[in-house]
Structure formats: C-alpha cells, structure tokens
Amino acid sequence: MTGTTSGQSAAGVVAWPQGSPFAGMDICAAAGLALRPGATGPIFDQDVWDFSGVAGLPAYLQPSFRRLEFISITYPAWRLVAKEHMAALLVPGHERVRLLPGARRHPLAVTSCAQHLDHLTCWLNWLTARGITGLGEVTNALCQEFAAERARRTDADGTMIGDRPHARYRALQTVSELARYRDLYTADRYSSEVTVAAGAPKVRGLGPVENRTPVVPDSVFGPMLAAALYVTGVLGPHITDLLAERASLQVRRQESTLKDPRRPEAVDDVLSVIAGHVAAGRPLDRLPEDRIRARAREGRMRPDDPLLPVSVDALARQAGYRQSHMTAWLPRLRPALEDAVRQVGTAPPWAHDAPVVDRADGNGTLPWTMPLTGKHARDLHDYLRTAAILVTAALSGMRKSELCELTTGCCPPPRELIPGLVRYRITGKVIKRAPLGGTPDEWVVTKEVYDAIAAATKLPRTATAGTSLFGRFTFSLLFRTFRNWVNGPAGQRLGLEPIPPGQVNLRMLRRTLAVELAYRPGGLLAAKIHLKHVSVATTEGYAARPGGSQARFLAEVNKEEHNRNLAIIQAEYSNFQDGIMPSGPGARDLTALFADTAETTSGHQPPTVIPGDQQVRAMLGKRAKTLHLGPANYCWFTDPAKALCLRQAGTPDADQPLLAMCDSARCPQATHHPSHREIWADTVTQHQEFIATLPRSQKTERARLEAELARARRVLAGIDAAASPGKGQPTWDA
C-alpha cells in the first residue's frame, strides 16, 4: 500500500495504538445475535466470519450467505477495511460508529452484509487489478469508470449491446459506502477529494428499478397447475405409500443380520428364491439400463446373454445375503435363471401391481405407474415435493423464505365455521421485514393447498414432526425436472397436458396471484392482507418504487379487465350470430346493440379501409367498458339512474354498481347467458331442498322462499329459451 506503514497511510490515517477498535471483538455478542447451544460465533480478527451457529437464521439461506469470507479480497491490507466496514453495519451502536454522521443507524441482517461484502470485494479487487495499492489513490473519475464498466451489457463476444442502470446504481452505492465511513477505517481510506456525491445516484435512470416481474402466461400456468394438482391429489397417496414401503425395507435390511455369500448353502438358498419367483409368476428384478450397458461394455457378459439384465444381487438379498458372489454362483444358477427368464421374464423391482387411477384427461383409467427401478422410485419424492411447492406458491402466494419455514406440523385441523363452510389454515413464519427468527403467522388457504401440504408431510424424509417440510431448494432446477417428467413418457401416459417452454419462478407465481386478486371487487385490500404486504401501496405497485408504479399497476389491471370484457362481449356477439340470445331484463338493449353492429359492419363497400372484424371490436369495445361481472349475470352499467342496486342503496350518482346488492332478475341492465345456467340450476335445487325441510309453522319464510324459487325458475327458463337457436328473444316479466 503506497505510503502505508503500521501507523500511517498515504491519506494520513493514524491507526489506534492497539490497532482496530474492533480487534478481538465477539461479533455475535456485540451485534446481539443469539447462538444455538454449543455453537460459537466469529471473532473480528478471523478472515472468515461463520454465522452458521446463529439461532433464528432463515431456513432458505444458503451456506454462502451465512459466511462472510474476507479472504476473497486479493490485496490482504484491504481485508481490515472490509472487516471494519462489516462490523459497522452489524454493530451501528459501537462507540466509533455512532459518531459518524453518514453511518447507518440500524443493524443489517447477515444476508444483507454478505451481499454488501460481495459488492465491496468486487470494487476492491477491481482496484487491485489496475495496480492501485492505496485507497488514497482513488478519484471520483475512477469511481465513475468502475460504475460504467459494471453497467455495461455485453454479448458473448464482449461487444457492448446495452446498459444496466441498476448495476450502475449498485456500483456507485458501494463506492459511496467507503466514503461515508471514511473516518472509521484505521488502515486505509479515501482522500478527501472522493465525496459521497461521487457515489450518489444523481443521474437519471440510476435510481431503484421498479418491479417488472411478469405474470405466468395462461398457456403455461394452466397445464403446470393442472399437473401439480394431479400429482398431489391423485398420485400423492400412491407415491407416499411406495416411498414408505422402500424406507421400511431399508430399515429391515439395516436391522437384520445378513449372511456371508461364501457360505456353502448360499447357492441352494438363491435357487429356492428363483423357484419362488417362478411359482408365483413374479418377474425377476431387472437392472437399470445404465447397469445393463455397463455389464456388456465391460465384457462380463455377452450382449445377447439372456441373463444380462437380471439382478443377481437382488436375488441374493431376498435369500438373506449381503450381496451376490456372481462369479462363483453363476455356473450353478444359469440353468435355473435362464428357465425363469423364459417363464416370468424380468421387470423393474418396484410397483408391479400399481393401483388404477383416472387419467388426467378423463380418457379412462390405468395403473398409476409402470414398474419402476430404484432410481425412478426415488425421483417420485422430488416430483411430489415440487408439485406441492407449485400448488402452495401458485394458490397462496407465499415467498420462498416463507415456504422454507414450513414444518411438518404446519397443518392444524380444519375449522368448520358453519355447516358446509370449512376454513383451512397453515402456520409458518414471515421472514421479510421481520426480526431475526421471523414472526409466527398463518395463511388461510384453499383445500387444494392444504391437501398438497398434507401430502408433502407424508414423504419419508419429512415424516418426523417439526422438521422442515420443503427444506432449501432451487426452484428453477425443480421446475425444469418436473416439466421434463410431465412432458416425458410417464406424464403423457397419465394424460397430462404438456407444459410449454417458458420461464416460471416464485416471484412470477406471486405476481400472478396478486393480479388475479386485484381483478375482484375489493381485490387490492384482499391481496394486501393475503400477501402480507406492509401497505396497500405496496400491493398496488407490488414491491415497486413508491409513487412510481401504483398507477401503472392499476392501469395494467384495468387493461386486462377491458381485454377480458371485450373477449366476453365478442363471444356473446358470436352467439347472437348463431341464434343464441341473451335473456334477462337487459337482453333487449344488448340484442339491439348486436343487431346494429351486424347491420353496420355488413354494409361496408369500397373504398372502406377498416376491416369488418376491427370495426366490430371498436363498436363492441365501448359497451365492454360498461361490463361488470356479477355472480350469476352480466351487469351492463350504462346508466346509473337505471341501476336497481344504486336506487336501493340511495346512491344514484355512484360510478360503480353494487354487485353485492344485485337483483339481476329485476334490474333493467342485467342479462343472463348460458354460462350462468349452472348457477341458477343449483339455486333452484337448493331452494327446493330447503323448502322441503321447513315445518308448516314457518309460513312467512316458506312464502319468501317460494317467491325466490319461482323467480329462479323464470330466469332458468329464460336462459334455456334464449339459448335455443331460432326461437328469438324471449319475453321477460320480472
């Protein structure tokens, strides 16, 4: 280091007489980090700070984020600078740190410090690579050069193809950190010419980047979720039974005393096992294909030898021996083995008599799996685990940190609030923005999520109470393997729809759920509560820059709603052209619009340049803006004064309908369509069943229900009449 001795550096740094003020400090004790019983924490002077013994670290943290490795800094003299900087971030209340005007006032988490150290190591090693041996040589221009290099986006040939503003911002933040803590360092520091402004993101485009996580496309989301639900709901019990059988067999083998294969009676015992296979008609165990190829390649058997695929080791274990003594046994076993192969053949050892299940596509039934080798049976564990993660993440929106905190006891018994209404909950921890160790919390989930987690708790590796349910995982790897299985022979045999290529990650699944919730009335507040966001603004922008993307998020939701409404009205216009009419009080207005549209677009003559389909979309798009989806009808909110719900609520000037108060059988702006028939048919059935259970004394209630039943029957009859091509528009009398 230029001009640096044990006492001074080129920047005029005067070291403490005893060295660094943090020398010998117990980092965990100073930072208030509790250790697990028997564990030890790092000492300041060590080149590697290992926090693995800290109690309450998030379960999802990889080992690399539990260790701060200063040895990665190439120039040894700057390791002390990095240690002092990390100590200041972990212990902001230290007597030397709290006097610094630009220091942080709240301690950073271990994982955040690991990320800071990675960026700091990159900066210091970049300086070393340019021959700089003292921080006093750093200039503002050098800081900007480093930021520009970090922001450069290049192709495979090293040619610059773009800029990464966020990388530039992060690089300048790292540079700025060493300027803000300049007076703390005892070995080396920037000169006074390097200012905090050199690292401040003053330039446009260098601020925090808003969240641009896309939703999962429907073409990917549908097959993916359908496959995951099929695995957890249909295959799950069979997979766990098979894995439990394998685990039980392994335990029995470990507990039993296996015999020495060199015993004289060994061959006779194996011959008895072979005879048992033939008598029972059970195939001999077949080796995996890679072992079969290895046998042929190594020359131990001829490629055309009928015994090439036979697992003699499996026969030996069935006879009670540790392993086979194939070289010595084979001459005596060959006649019996060849005869057994001719009579019963060979097959993988697991799932010979698999139970029958329904195919995913509804085309009949079949055994849930073909016979499996040991490796393929083990892979089923990962497929079920991945499917449970997919279902839980897609339908609950849990973050990875929250998924990793789930344990095998996270499914309390369901609560039946009222007859027929059951609430399913899972318990876990919120890690983000929570104190070390997380905050206990619970999620209200659907039955599918509850069942998926319950299936995962039965996997052998998670059967012990209190253990981690999913453990640490790399989702991209799990999903890629799961998609390959679904798209491969096993998944296609079960009738699963192939999952198209495309990126899927946990952030995208959470974003997809947020958008779906936001579509519904009061959806933003519901999403805020369910996704456990700090504020509704966070939900609106979904972790984006405050004040910057809330409007864009709402605009995105409104755009998607308009596209959905336009697709609905176009579908109804196509039904109108096929003679399938709407029904309900507002049906005449809607059919009049369709008739005008058909008449207008069919009369175009040259030189008209607007295609008919495009003009249809333009004309229908205006009415699509007024569409609101009711629980059993479509509400065409064209005139607030006509809205029955607003008149009943006494708010005739409102700009939105009150769908919770909708009476579509009487509102002049409501229509019914074939898609609503099932709901009205269920209503008729439920009213009939309930009326039948009423005692004679409840005449008033019976009269009210009979009136509602009559109205529901009229609605149902209107839907059926309008859906019959050629009958025209039915009359409507509420």
Q: In angstroms, rounded to a whole number, what is the distance separating the alpha carbons of residues 164 and 513?
A: 29
Higher-confidence residue: 275 or 200? 275
CA triple 506-57-526, angle to 5 deg: 40
| pLDDT (tens digit per residue) in 467-506 | 788 988 999 999 999 999 999 999 999 999 999 999 999 9
The 10s digit of each residue's pLDDT in 657-708 is 888 788 888 899 999 999 898 999 998 998 888 888 888 888 888 888 888 8
pLDDT surpassing 80 at residue 212: no
Q: Is 185 exposed, middle or buried (0-12, 13-18, 19+ CB in 10 A)?
A: buried
Phi, psi of 372 (to 5 degrees): -120, 145
Look at strands 346-347 and 284-285 and give their pairing: parallel
Tokens of 413: 């018994």
* Mean pLDDT over each residue of the chain, to the nearest integer: 82
Model pLDDT for residues 507-532, shown as the tens digit of each residue: 999 888 887 777 665 565 566 666 66
Tell me what pLDDT residue 217 has: 92
CA 85/CA 177 separation, integer angstroms: 9
- 558 pLDDT tier (thresholds 50, 70, 90): confident
What is the predicted pLDDT for the residue at 122? Answer: 95
d(CA 697, CA 680): 28
Q: Is the pTM of this model over 0.85?
A: no
Parallel, antiparallel or unpaired: strands 634-636 and 627-629: antiparallel
Q: How confident is the model at residue 20 (pLDDT cuts 50, 70, 90)?
A: confident
Question: Peptide bond preceding 640: is omega within 30 degrees of 0, i.e. cis?
Answer: no
Burial 526-563 (b: 16+ CB within 10 A, else e): ebbebbbbeeebbbbbbbbeeeebbeebeeebeeebee
Helix and strand totals (H; E) in the chain: 25, 14
Q: CA-CA distance, 499 to 453, in Å (whole number)?
A: 22
The pLDDT value recorded for residue 365 is 94
What's CA 261's distance to the chain center, in Å? 50
* pLDDT for residue 729 is more than 90: no
pLDDT band at 92 (very low <50, low <70, confident <90, very high): very high
Q: Which residue has the tokens 């009326």?
A: 691
| Distance in angstroms (rounded) separating the CA atoms of residues 167 and 176 | 14
Q: Is the pLDDT of residue 652 over 90?
A: no
Q: From CA 453, how far away is CA 428, in angstroms rounded?
A: 12
CA distance readout (Å), 240 to 233, 453, 455: 12, 13, 8
